[in-house]
Amino acid sequence: MNCPFCNISIDQILLESEYSYAKYDGFPVANGHALIISKRHVSNYFDLKEEEQVDMLKLMNLVKIKVENEYGISQYNIGVNCGEEAGQTINHVHMHLIPRYKGDVDDARGGVRWVIPSKAKYWDE
């Protein structure tokens, strides 16, 4: 299988649990941008078994602590792209934990709503 998440080097793994592992993103949008990845090759988050979903969320909490200790940050965006139209480019379930830094954008209001720019700025309407 030619999946970059199924063929990962052990030295890239930050933390792991029974059903998932974490690594820093290869194309980070911020320092400390991490991915929590299902060990089982599944494309869509909603196709995971409940115990796999719970495991990923628990691991994300542990990764958050690691990122906070390494980068001194405590504010984040969390995201999962499910499907091509939602921006998924690697067809293997993974969650993004993206640290946010003061001043990294001019106006952070709207957060994840900016995936559809015309819908993001709702507060001026």
Known catalytic residues are 94
DSSP letter string over 12-51? GEEEE-SSEEEEE-SS-SSTT-EEEEESS--S-GGGS-HH
Q: What are phi and psi of 108, to 5 degrees?
A: -80, -10
**92, 5 contact by CB (below 8 A):** yes
